[in-house]
Each structure stands twice: as structure tokens, then as C-alpha cells.
Amino acid sequence: MYTTINGTGILNNYPTEPQLDYAEYPNQEKQNRYKLQGAVVTLLVTALVLVALGVS
């Protein structure tokens, strides 16, 4: 950690700054995988809701 002392004797602690990573737009393969995951999750949630309604 980087620490400095100013003229009045007060300590100033500065955190280290992380290296930035910029987001990239997903390619076609990732987009298709996201669509498939969304469809599977939608079916799962729909099935859970229908089961819950059927049990109650």
C-alpha cells in the first residue's frame, strides 16, 4: 500500500488501482449460446411454476 505523510503529519493511504479490462461484444457463437441458455431457463421456470400451480 502506498502511504504518504502531508505537512501536518496526517497519513494518506491510497489504494492501488486495478488494471481495467474493457468488455467486448459477444461473437455469434456466444450469442447463440446465450439464446439457448435463455430458452432452457425459460422452460425450467415455466415447468416449476406449472408444478407449483398443480400441487397447490
Tens of pLDDT, residue by residue over 13-52, are 767 778 999 999 999 999 999 999 999 999 999 999 999 9
Distance CA 5, CA 7 (A): 7
The cell numbers describing 6, all together, are: 502531508
Say if residues 4 and 18 touch (Cβ distance below 8 Å): no
- Residue 8: the pLDDT is 80
Provide the whole-model pTM: 0.58
- Residue 1: the pLDDT is 53
CA 23 to chain centre: 12
Say if residues 2 and 17 touch (Cβ distance below 8 Å): no
Half-sphere exposure of 51 (CA within 13 A, CB side): 6
Confidence of residue 2 (pLDDT cuts 50, 70, 90): low
